[in-house]
Amino acid sequence: AMALSGVRVLELAGLAPAPLCGMILADFGAQVVRVDRPPQSAAAVDVQARGKRSLALDLKQPQGAAALRRLCGGADVLIEPFRHGVMEKLGLGPEILLQENPKLIYARLTGFGQTGKYAKSAGHDINYLALSGVLSKLGRKNENPYAPINLLADFAGGGVMCAMGIVIALFERARSGRGQVIDASMVKGVAYLSSFLWKSQNSGIWSRPRGENLLDSGAPFYEIYRTSDGKFMAVGALEPQFYNQLIKGLGLDSDELPSQMSFSDWPEMKKKFASIFAQKTQAEWCSIFDSTDACVTPVLSFNDVASHQHNKQRSSFIKNDQGEISPRPAPVLSRTPAVPSCKRDPFIGEHTEEILLEYGFTKQEIAKLYSDKSIAFRNPKANL
C-alpha cells in the first residue's frame, strides 16, 4: 500500500495550484475525487489530474450543495480553491462541514488568504510573488524584476505547501481524532519558502543591489553561459575547490586571474567565461566537466531531459498510456513509494455514479440528482 492509501480527498476543481495539491496526494495513494462543474464539454482544463476520478456536481443548485455536504461527511480532506466567502455563500463553509464531520481537514488554498485587505481580490502568481517580497529579489542588474513562469507562488508556495499542510494535519489527526481548517495562502507560502533570503540578509550574500550578488546572476561562477551550438551550460562553482576545477576545465590559470570574490572584477570575468564557453558545443563541455566537481551541468530542454543518462538511471520521468512524458513523483520513499497512475486523465463526470454509490447514495437518489440537473455524467445513457 502507498503512504496515503485509504485517505479520501475531495478536490473542488480549480486552476493550477489546487490540481497539483490533489495530484500529489493521489500520486502517494489517496483516493482523490475532483468535483467538477457540469460540463459544456467532457474536456477538463486540469492537466494535473493523474490518478483522480471526476464527479460532475453543480454547487449552485441547492441539491448539488447538499450532495457535497453529504460527501464531506465521508471524506478525510476537502481542497477548496475559491476566493474568500464563496463557500460560505453556498452553505459549505468550514463551520458547517466540520460540525457535521469533526474529522474533516478543510484545506483552503487561495492567493491572498482568508483574511486581510486583499482576501476577496483576484490575483495570479505574479501578484502573490510581488506581495510576498520575493519578486523584488528576482531579476538581473539594471532590469525590471522578473517572474519565473508561475512556479514559485502557484505551485511551490501554493500547491506543495497546501499538500504539506494536509499531510501535517492528517498526522496530527491520528493523535487527536480531530480535523481542522488549513488557510494556505500563496503569498504566505512563497514568503515562507524564501526564509533563507530573510535569514541570510546579514551574511553579506545580499548586500549589493539586485543582480550583483552571489546567487542572483552577479557572480561569474554562478551563471548560465551559451555554447557554440546555441545551447547552455549552468555554472554553480561557489566553493573555492569547485571554482578551481571550473577554472581548470576552462583552460585558464588561476594565478593569472583576480581572486574569486573580487566583486569589481566580476563583470569582466563574466565576459571572459562567456567567450570561452562560446567556443565549444554543450556536448563538448559535458565531456570536460561531467567527471569533475566543478558544478557545471547542461541546461536540458524538455525534449532532452528524460533521455539524459542520469535521469534515465533514476527513472525520473514516466510515460502514461497516451505516451505523454512527465516527472515521476518525488521524494522517493523506500517502503511505500508513490506509484503514479498511467491511465489517461478523467473526463468531466466520468465517475459520477461510481463515486456517489461509494459515498452511500442510492441509485434512486442519484437519478433524482440527475433529473434536477445537479449532477452530470459523461455518458448518462450508459449509467442510467
Give pLDDT tens digits for 119-157.
Answer: 999 999 999 999 999 999 999 999 999 999 999 999 999
- pLDDT attached to residue 205: 87
Contacts made by residues 71-75, CB under 8 angstroms, sequence distance 24+: 71/10, 71/33, 71/35, 71/359, 72/10, 72/97, 72/100, 72/101, 72/104, 73/100, 73/101, 74/8, 74/101, 74/359, 74/360, 75/8, 75/9, 75/10, 75/101, 75/104
The catalytic residues are 124, 154
Integer Cα distance of 224 and 115 in angstroms = 41
Q: What are phi and psi of 225, to 5 degrees?
A: -125, 145
Task: Please state the rounded mean pLDDT for residues 257-262.
Answer: 96
pLDDT at 383 > cutoff 50: no
Output the CA–CA distances (angstroms, integers) from residue 4 to 8, 161, 163, 204, 280, in the order listed: 9, 17, 12, 43, 48
pLDDT at 381 > cutoff 90: no
Helix or strand run (H / E) with residue 107? strand 105-110
Q: What are phi and psi of 288, to 5 degrees?
A: -80, -40
**String of DSSP letters for 49-79:** -TT-EEEEE-TTSHHHHHHHHHHHHT-SEEE
pLDDT, the chain, mean: 95
- pLDDT attached to residue 43: 61
- pLDDT attached to residue 40: 66
pLDDT digits (tens, 9 = 90+) for 165-224: 999 999 999 999 999 999 999 999 999 999 999 999 888 888 899 999 999 999 999 999
- pLDDT attached to residue 330: 97
Range(s) of the chain covered by CATH 3.40.50.10540: 8-194+321-372
Confidence of residue 44 (pLDDT cuts 50, 70, 90): low
Range with lowest mean pLDDT among 41-55, 87-101, 243-257, 297-311 = 41-55
Count the neighbouring beta carbons within 10 Å of the beta carbon of residue 164: 15
- pLDDT attached to residue 41: 61
Instruction: List beta partners, residue 232.
Output: 226
Integer Cα distance of 37 and 55 in angstroms = 8
pLDDT at 78 > cutoff 80: yes
- pLDDT attached to residue 62: 96
Task: Please state the rounded mean pLDDT for residues 35-49.
Answer: 80
- pLDDT attached to residue 45: 78
Integer Cα distance of 201 and 12 in angstroms = 39
pLDDT at 97 > cutoff 60: yes
pLDDT at 380 > cutoff 60: no
pLDDT at 379 > cutoff 90: no
Angle between helices 125-132 and 186-193 (to 10 degrees): 50
Count the neighbouring beta carbons within 10 Å of the beta carbon of residue 218: 20
Question: Which residue shows C-alpha cell 483574511?
Answer: 115
SS3 of 273, please?
A: helix
Q: In percent, how much of the chain has pLDDT > 70?
A: 97
CATH number of 8-194+321-372: 3.40.50.10540
- pLDDT attached to residue 384: 46
Task: Please state the rounded mean pLDDT for residues 347-366.
Answer: 96
CATH class of 222-299: alpha beta
